């Protein structure tokens, strides 16, 4: 079979390539899945760079989320069938024509859900909802987030209103405001214009911003923290621009702020089964009623992985980059 692999850590466009590999056999409690589509996430490419919290042994495969069709069942697997379409959001090495996964990590996909949606159902939407659920926000509270036009930023803005949570989004380009408006997402401010902080305060009024979600890093971390109210919480979700958070000690001290991280895979692994079911039910409800959308920017074949990796970080991207074998 064909598989996307890398023999060294580095820029994904430089080190990823398509190689031949044996078709894997499922072990006890596992299934083999034939890949249909897989999204490229930032954390997938950070892993290839060797800068993520998980560092695989080399040579390594890549990719963590996929939709596919069950091709074979391992010993002891019940409740799943060959030919069934399933999604997974936490299986490493899915950028292969076939991959094995723990049966418990698979989610059966309803017929009405298209492949393009099912391929990106688990990791980003579930992480966004888990993030919201973890923040301790009540109805009427405010949060602010940068990278508002990213996948998680869009999802947070779409999911929060159903819980009565108010969201202000920050984008780095003025064009991003219009892009999000076209998607029905408002209360967005571009940080490339003068007086953008005043526009944030005009949106919020006298309300206190309780939580800031930082997916960018660098100076953007400090920008978000500066807008939080007293005893606010800054949550580091990603590091799109920099692995270092530049925050003012005065804001931390005098606001009595809390700074913490959120790693979706760790949160998901520790989550109680009843909470997982509750959040997944909420997620399917929001998909069914049209509250959230999971757009696709482009679909690339395996052979164009270098171009696909570059496209993932292209400014103005309006949807996910997907890979097809």
209: left (phi over 0), alpha (psi -120 to 50) or beta: beta
Please provide residue 71's backbone torsions phi and psi, each rounded to the nearest 5 degrees: -110, -30
Ranges of residues in the chain with a pLDDT under 70 are: none
pLDDT score for 312:
94
Which residues, in sequence order, are bridge partners of residue 261? 236
DSSP 245: B
The whole-angstrom distance between residue 162's C-alpha and the CA centroid of its chain comes to 20
CA pair distance 127, 213, nearest whole angstrom: 13
DSSP 160-172: GGGGT-EEEEEES
Contact 240, 44 (CB under 8 A): no
CA pair distance 133, 125, nearest whole angstrom: 12
Contact 95, 61 (CB under 8 A): yes
pLDDT score for 265:
74
**Which residue, 93, 108, 133, 118, is CA-closest to 267?**
133
Query: Is the omega angle on the peptide bond into residue 59 within 30 degrees of 0, that is, cis?
Result: yes
pLDDT score for 55:
92
**Chain position carrying tokens 């009843």:** 274
* Residue 271 CB-density burial (10 A; 0-12 exposed, 13-18 middle, 19+ buried): middle
CA pair distance 263, 259, nearest whole angstrom: 14
Query: HSE (CB half, 13 Å, CA atoms) of 243?
Result: 7
CA pair distance 49, 96, nearest whole angstrom: 19
CA pair distance 216, 254, nearest whole angstrom: 24
**Which residue, 201, 186, 209, 198, is CA-closest to 140?**
209
CA pair distance 131, 92, nearest whole angstrom: 22
Which tokens go with 111? Answer: 């017929």
CA pair distance 221, 273, nearest whole angstrom: 33
The residues, ordered by sequence, that sit 6+ positions from 224 with a Cβ below 8 Å of its Cβ are 144, 145, 146, 170, 212, 213, 214, 234
Q: 305-312 and 42-49 are packed helices; what angle lies between their axes, rounded to 10 degrees?
A: 110
């Amino acid at each position: 079979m064909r598989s996307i692999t890398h023999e060294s850590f580095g820029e994904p466009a430089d080190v990823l390539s398509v190689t031949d590999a044996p078709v894997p056999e499922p072990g006890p409690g596992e299934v083999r899945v034939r890949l249909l589509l897989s999204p490229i996430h930032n954390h997938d490419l950070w892993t290839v760079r060797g800068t993520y919290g998980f560092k695989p042994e080399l040579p390594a495969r890549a990719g963590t989320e996929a939709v596919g069709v069950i091709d074979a069942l391992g010993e002891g697997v019940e409740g799943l069938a060959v030919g069934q379409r399933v999604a997974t959001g936490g299986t490493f090495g899915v950028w292969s024509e076939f991959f094995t996964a723990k049966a418990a990590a698979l989610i059966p996909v309803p017929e009405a859900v298209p492949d393009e949606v099912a391929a990106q159902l688990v990791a980003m939407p579930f992480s966004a909802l888990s993030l919201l659920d973890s923040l301790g926000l009540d109805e009427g509270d405010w949060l602010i987030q940068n990278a508002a036009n990213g996948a998680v930023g869009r999802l947070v803005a779409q999911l929060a209103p159903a819980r009565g949570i108010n969201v202000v989004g920050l984008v780095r380009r003025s064009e991003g405001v219009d892009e999000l408006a076209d998607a029905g997402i408002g209360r967005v401010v571009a940080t490339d214009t003068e007086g953008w902080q005043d526009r944030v305060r005009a949106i919020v009024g006298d309300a206190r911003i309780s939580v800031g979600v930082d997916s960018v890093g660098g100076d953007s971390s400090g920008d978000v923290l500066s807008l939080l109210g007293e005893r606010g919480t800054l949550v580091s979700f990603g590091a799109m621009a920099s692995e270092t958070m530049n925050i003012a000690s005065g804001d931390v001290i005098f606001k009595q702020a809390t700074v913490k991280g959120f790693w979706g895979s760790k949160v998901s692994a520790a989550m109680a089964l009843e909470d997982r079911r509750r959040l997944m039910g909420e997620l399917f409800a929001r998909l069914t009623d049209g509250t959230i959308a999971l757009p696709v920017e482009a679909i690339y074949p395996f052979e164009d992985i270098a171009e696909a990796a570059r496209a993932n970080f292209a400014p103005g991207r309006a949807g996910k980059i997907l890979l097809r074998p």
